[in-house]
A and B are shown apart, each in its own frame.
Chain A
Amino acid sequence: MERTRRSSPVSPPLEYAKEGTEDFSVLRRLLLAPEQVQLDRLRQRLDTFVVGPEEVSNVLPDAIRLRAQQDNRLLASMVPITQEALALSIKQSPQLISDSIAPILGSAIRKALSRAMREMLQSLNQTLEYSMSWQGLQWRWEAWKTGRPFVEVVLLHTLRFRVEQLFLIHKKTGLLLNHVMAEGISSQGEAAISGMLTAIQDFVRDSFQQSQDEGLESLRIGDLTVWIEQGSSAILATVIRGTPPVKLRDVLQNTLDSLHAQYSDSLKNFQGDTAVFLETRPFLEDCLQAQFVKKQKGLPVAFLVLCALLLALLGWWAYHASLHHQQWTEFLKRIGAEPGIVVTSIQEEEGRRVLHGWRDPLAVDPERLLEEVGYSSNAVGFHLEPFIALTPEMVHKRAIQVLQPPESVEVSIEGNRIVLMGESSHRWISRVDQSAMAIPGVSEISMERLIDTDVKQFETLRNALEQQAIFFLEGQGRLPDRELVKTQQVKHILQELDKEAVKLGRELSIDVMGYSSPVGSQSINLLLSEMRAKKVLDILSEPPYQVLKLAAMGKGVDPDGTSVAGEEKGYARSRRVSFKVVEAKTIHPPREAGVRKGP
């Protein structure tokens, strides 16, 4: 409509023209018609002024915001209505309310629970993390030295910051409205401290002529910082250990602001009764924040080193355990195979192993076996009864021990027979038979291949003697000088033979036989041969022998000499004295060479 009128300004004047009669009116209408219409309409609107919902809806949000900034009267007037509305709403549709509250409550409860859990875990974690490290050890030492609990020392060292106490203080009186502390903090005289904090503020303010709104913002004492948030009627003093982040300040200021909004009347009319401020506790407790130094990820070096050491130790132990085991089995194998030792049982006694069984006194010392395999000998005990083993090895050992054979004799055992090989003196051989039979497990002795060195020597000497011949000149019983020397050789052989005979225990006679050549008469030859034999005997008789006896006999013409008859050379060989050993094999025990003195 409006639009139509404005777009066709010619038509209204025509309307007025019908009504008016005066010229002036006409003129006015002609000149001011459009404005007149507008004025009329404005008047009409003012006369019937009602704020339409449209207009209110346009300004309502801003209006509420503006008013809330100005003061809290709007809030105050809203409270009863809201409360009633809420109450009514709960009455009418409780399900709706509980549905909408449930998620909030749920998450709030979850949050509270998880916070409690986190705090618990954190202190546990830290304690664990640090209890293994080098750092941890140092702190343990510190804890021990200072007498503080380890957890507390860890806390102090790992803390970046921690809000320890909050004082909500009434500004005008300096009285303490509420006070919260972090866990483990003990406090005394909060009321006095609260007053002192206010006094110090006043002091600073007065001293440096600051306005009432200004105030001390922070104090620092060593590791402690006190942050002071100023409100119109309350101040919030926060005691922080460590270095707090700046954004904590916002948290504190916001807390103080919201407390102001909530308790403005109580703060204004505060007369010393702090009961109403007990409800501020959760808000203040929310400010009890803490942050810890992050430990670098990964295992701590000290922990790794410890692990490596442990592993090495374990390896070393395992190596030794297996070596130990190896040595033990080796030992058992060895002792099991050892002749003359029979292990019947192995028992654990007082932490050591004791072997029970039998041992031939000639068997190897078991301690030596232990030593050889390298097993520690004091970890093993032996309880071995003595016995005589009849195994070939032990019989052999015993034979060696009993017979004490010279190095040139080899002793071996074949079943129950002892076999001797090699050569030995007559003295040893003559005893060996008897001794050998006394060895347990021996019932036969074989000495076929055992050579008697004394017999051998005797035979050698006998041969040597019997090949000797002393030659005489034709028809003479006198010895030429050359042959005289030879008799000395013969005498030497005889002396040796005499010694051997003593050793062998034999009586010994030597025939000294004289011969002659066939030249000449038989009777003369006999005489001559006799003469020659006696001549040699005389020479050989001195010095006397121990058992040897010499007998001179004339044999007449040499029977062998005839085979080469006719030759002067053959005859010359017949004019001689030869020797023959006649053994008188008397059996008596052999005697020491030196013991026997003369026949």
Chain B
Amino acid sequence: MIQKKICLLGAFAVGKTSLVKRLVSGIFSDKYLTTVGVKIDQKKLSIRGQDLMMVIWDLYGDDDFQKVRASYLQGSSGYILVIDGTRKETVDVAGKLHELAQKTIGPVPFVLLLNKHDLVDEWVVECPMVSDLRDQACLVSMVSAKTGEGVEAAFTALSEAMLRS
């Protein structure tokens, strides 16, 4: 069995934890996020006949991205960058976190998720803002942790990218 560690990165309250919850019902409670700064879940996927155990690290961070422990990023084979479509500033944070990730773990695949698509009417983030990231990401997707839209597909896409690399 192949195992891969991935991280969820994004500003505070963009919906990282909600996205993971959409995918799995984990064994650890959310309180680990605030105490240890991370909550880990596992999700078994089958990608083209290949079993893959995805170990998802949901990192806790308020808007000061430096508080994300670099050590938690270590060993990741990919990551998910989350932006809250209703908050412009989350784009900046995502960019910085992306830089940090690339610096710490190297050029690994990532997907860029614009979350809260169900609130699309309130969106303030526009495409040009994310063009930099968009070029590097293996997938850019508008998702909603609330409705579940695009969530599984995003994880699958990242898995495929990781297996390819």
Contacts and interface: CB of A to CB of B under 8 A. Distances in A.
B72 A175 contact: no
Interface residues of A, number: 26
Interface stretch (A187-195, A298-306, A500-508): A187-195
B23 interface: no
A199 interface: yes
B71 A189 contact: no
B35 to A, nearest CB: 9
6 contacts: A192-B28, A196-B38, A199-B36, A202-B72, A271-B77, A272-B3
Interface stretch (A166-174, A420-428, A462-470, A589-597): A166-174
Contacts of B41: 189, 192
B136 interface: no
A196 B42 CA distance: 11
A174 B4 CA distance: 10
B32 A176 contact: no
Given A173-B5, A192-B55, A194-B55, 15 more contacts: A173-B3, A175-B55, A189-B41, A191-B42, A191-B53, A192-B42, A195-B5, A195-B57, A199-B38, A199-B40, A203-B37, A205-B71, A206-B69, A206-B71, A271-B77
A202 B74 CA distance: 10
B32 A175 contact: no
A248 interface: no
- Main secondary structure on chain B at its contact with chain A? mixed
B2 A174 contact: no
A212 to B, nearest CB: 9
B140 to A, nearest CB: 25
A194 B38 CA distance: 13
B36 A274 contact: no
Contacts of B36: 196, 199-200, 203
Contacts of A272: 2-5, 77
A335 to B, nearest CB: 83
A173 B76 contact: yes
A273 interface: yes
Contacts of A200: 36
B1 interface: yes
Contacts of B1: 273-275
Contacts of A170: 75
Nearest to B53: A191
B27 interface: yes
B42 A189 contact: yes
B3 A274 contact: yes
B26 interface: yes
Nearest to A200: B36
A196 B26 contact: no
Contacts of A195: 5, 40, 42, 55, 57
